[in-house]
C-alpha cells in the first residue's frame, strides 16, 4: 500500500509517517517505479504499535526501546516494566501539578465576577499585587 492508505488506516498524518521513518522508528519501505513508498503488512503493524504507545503518552525514545524488545524476545523484560513504571509516575506527578494549578486558577478567577474596567478587575489587581511581592490567593 502507499503512504496515503497507510495514513488513513492508522489515523496518522502522512508527514508523521515520513517523520517516523527519518527518526528510525519505522523501517524504510521499498520504492516503486515512481519512487513512491510501498508498505507491507508489517509496516502497518509497526506503525500501530508506535501509535498505540504514543496514545499512552510514551516518548519516541521509549518506543524505540520497546520496539527493540519486541525484536529481541529473549531479553529480560525488567526494563519494560521500569519504563512503564516511570511513565506512570510521570503522569501522576503531572496530574498532581495540574490539580494545584487548577485550584490556583479558580481562586484567581473568583477575584472578578462582573465586567468592569480592568483597573477595577480583581484578577488584574491580584496579579499586580503579586508582582509587587504581596500575597496572592492563588499562591496561598
Partner DNA sequence: GTTTGACCCTGTAGTGACTACAGGGTATCC
Partner DNA sequence: GGATACCCTGTAGTCACTACAGGGTCAAAC
Residues that bind DNA (CB under 7 A): 2-5, 7, 13-16, 18-19, 31-37, 54, 59-61
Phi-psi region of 31 (alpha: psi -120 to 50; beta: other; left: phi over 0): beta
Rounded CA separation 122/5 (Å): 54
Rounded CA separation 17/20 (Å): 5
Residue whose CB is less far from DNA, 69 or 122: 69
Radius of gyration of the chain (CA): 24
Residue whose CB is less far from a second copy, 32 or 106: 106
At which residue does the C-alpha cell 503488512 appear? 41
Rounded CA separation 79/58 (Å): 14
Question: Is residue 66 close enough to count as binding a second copy by CB under 8 A?
Answer: yes
* Residue 125: how many other CB atoms lie within 10 Å: 15
Segment interacting with a second copy, rule: CB under 8 A, options 15-23, 25-33, 101-109: 101-109
Question: Is residue 27 close enough to count as binding a second copy by CB under 8 A?
Answer: no
Given the rule CB under 8 A, which residues bind a second copy?
Answer: 45-46, 48-49, 52-53, 55-57, 66, 69-70, 72-78, 80-81, 84-85, 87-88, 91-92, 94-95, 98-99, 101-102, 104-106, 108-109, 112, 115-121, 123-124, 127-128, 130-133, 136, 138-139
Amino acid at each position: 500500500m502507499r503512504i496515503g492508505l497507510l495514513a488513513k488506516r492508522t489515523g496518522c498524518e502522512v508527514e508523521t509517517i515520513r517523520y517516523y521513518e527519518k527518526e528510525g522508528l519505522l523501517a524504510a519501505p521499498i520504492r516503486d517505479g515512481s519512487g513512491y513508498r510501498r508498505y507491507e503488512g508489517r509496516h502497518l503493524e509497526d506503525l500501530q504499535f508506535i501509535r498505540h504507545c504514543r496514545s499512552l503518552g510514551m516518548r519516541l525514545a521509549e518506543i524505540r526501546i520497546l520496539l527493540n524488545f519486541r525484536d529481541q524476545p529473549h531479553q529480560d523484560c525488567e526494563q519494560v516494566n521500569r519504563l512503564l513504571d516511570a511513565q506512570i509516575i510521570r503522569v501522576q506527578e503531572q496530574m498532581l501539578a495540574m490539580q494545584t494549578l487548577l485550584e490556583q486558577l479558580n481562586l484567581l478567577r473568583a477575584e472578578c465576577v462582573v465586567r468592569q474596567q480592568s483597573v477595577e478587575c480583581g484578577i488584574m489587581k491580584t496579579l499586580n499585587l503579586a508582582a509587587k511581592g504581596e500575597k496572592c490567593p492563588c499562591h496561598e
